[in-house]
Amino acid sequence: MNDKLNELKKLTTEIYDLRMCNALLEWDQQVNMPAAGSAARAAQMSLLSRSAHELATSDRMGQLLEDLKPLYVELPPDSDDYCLLRNVYRDYERERKVPVEYVSEFTQTTGEAFAAWDRAKAENDFASFKPLLGKIFDMRRQYAGFFAPYDHIYDPLLDDFEPGMKTADVLAVFKTLRDEQVKLLHDIGVRPQVDDSCLNCHCGDEGQWALCREAVKLIGYDLNRGRIDKAEHPFTTNFCRDDVRITTHIYEDNVMSAVFSSLHEGGHAIYEQGVAKELDRIPIGTGASLAIHESQSRLWENLVGRSLEFLGCFYPRIQQQFPRRFGSVPLNDFYRAVNRVEPSLIRVEADEATYNLHIMLRMELEIAMLEQKITVDDLPEIWREKMHEYLGVTPMNDTQGVLQDVHWAGGMIGYFPTYALGNLISAQVWEKAAEDLPELNAQIARGELTPLREWLTEKLYRHGAKYYPSELVRMITGGGIDPRPYLNYLNRKYRAIYA
């Protein structure tokens, strides 16, 4: 039986490596590749996706899983081998439902769509991107059909990013969040606005770049096992636990944008670098889900990065880098400025109190598109209407609106809800960390981030995808996803900032 298990591990490693080669091509596409190479790159990525899918759904894989069923029953449920088999069984059953021709065509389409989106965003030209976007939504609707019957057409897509999560569960959580956050925004809105004029300044690319590297090194991102580059839309990718790469985007008139996006992506990267070595290059050797991943990026970006304690140790580095801009600005003024609450157009720049509303808007549009209640032609105008309804702001153009995110170009429909779910989990995990590390705030104020990172590695990172997301949340917090800790955090923090 051990021979069969070793053969399965060898096969899953081959599949993993094929997919990581594809990820490397995608990283290069967004960081280095000349625009003219997009068509060939889409074909190369399509070939690799097809090859990985054929291996993952092969008769060889099916026979191995059948032969290993007796072992699966005998193994301890918390063993690496049991969790590996459970993961592979699940993926095999799902992937067998998806024709290889679909996988190949979808990868080709999204490969072409990235270049079209990148160009359309730069030129504010939604019309040029519309045909490919329409095809992507059509294909995702077709994809959902492979898993019928379902409770909701959105369920199969959501399940790709958040295993076990149902659309109805997310919408119920969002209802609680929306009501509470709208109330908080109303209460903030009647208070004097925070002055953030100190942030409205020009800060050079080189200085910002140095700060980004310092910030991610401070929280523990190992640059010997990673690198940081520039991209239109910041992202993290990993090819193994010892090659985890992040990107950021620098705006010379917004110094903290790059720092916070680097902390966000650094949080993703620390998670991947913290996976146990024995899980490397097998299906459970990566993050458990997108919501769990986002909980870590949001934890390091917001609960750590935007805290008074972290800024207390990091702000002097900003002052040293840009003394004329920040040398005379007190720490408390800077802290309040970077935590100013103001409805805005761009999701990745949104403050904590309004961020989830951006996510709800996107999820509603995705569902409406899948249910064919609206068409791709409707998206720009409905986006503007919903931005005005939810946040009281209206995009002046499609670059600020429907074209701002890369996710739809990548076919990642069903991804957005994980950002908001990650916010909730981040606060729940933070509560437990604060219980176990009574000196946590003092340690952060001294720039000592190792105790927190080691606690997270022990409780979360090392497990990779051994456990389902709901199991991990329960193991760490003792319960399921709960919006209350996050809402308590928001109220406590922002009612203090706005007196």
Tens of pLDDT, residue by residue over 276-334, are 999 999 999 999 999 999 999 999 999 999 999 999 999 999 999 999 999 999 999 99
Instruction: Please say whether the beta carbons of 111 and 127 come within 8 A.
Output: no
**Confidence (pLDDT) at 207:** 92
Instruction: Please say whether the beta carbons of 56 and 37 come within 8 A.
Output: no
Local confidence band at 252 (pLDDT 50, 70, 90 cut-offs): confident
Mean pLDDT on 240-257 = 92
CA–CA distance, 203 with 81 (Å, rounded to integer): 51
pLDDT tens string 347-373: 988 999 999 999 999 999 999 999 999
Mean pLDDT on 377-403 = 96
Mean pLDDT on 179-194 = 93
Instruction: Please say whether the beta carbons of 417 and 152 come within 8 A.
Output: no
pTM of this structure: 0.94
**Confidence (pLDDT) at 196:** 94
Mind giving me the DSSP string for 83-118? HHHHHHHHHHHHHTTS-HHHHHHHHHHHHHHHHHHH
E strand segments, 362-460: none
CA–CA distance, 140 with 443 (Å, rounded to integer): 46
From the list 12, 186, 134, the residue with the least C-alpha distance to 409 is 134
Q: Which residue has the tokens 């809105």?
A: 189
Helix, strand or coil, per DSSP, at residue 164: coil
Instruction: Please say whether the beta carbons of 181 and 353 come within 8 A.
Output: yes
According to CATH, the topology of domain 167-497 is Neurolysin; domain 3 (1.10.1370)
- Average pLDDT of the chain is 95
Q: Where are the domains of the chain?
A: 2-149, 167-497
Local confidence band at 156 (pLDDT 50, 70, 90 cut-offs): very high
Mean pLDDT on 445-457 = 98
**Confidence (pLDDT) at 202:** 84
Looking at 117-126, 230-239, 289-298, which range is the least confident one? Answer: 230-239
**Confidence (pLDDT) at 1:** 65
From the list 225, 341, 348, 226, the residue with the least C-alpha distance to 298 is 348
**Confidence (pLDDT) at 235:** 94
**Confidence (pLDDT) at 14:** 96
Mean pLDDT on 16-21 = 96
The angle formed by the CA atoms of residues 244, 249 and 253, to the nearest 5 degrees, is 150
**Confidence (pLDDT) at 126:** 98
**Confidence (pLDDT) at 204:** 86
Mind giving me the DSSP string for 4-33? HHHHHHHHHHHHHHHHHHHHHHHHHHHHT-
The single-letter DSSP state of residue 254 is B
CA–CA distance, 43 with 53 (Å, rounded to integer): 15
In the set 95, 112, 180, 265, the catalytic residue is 265
265 carries an active-site annotation: yes
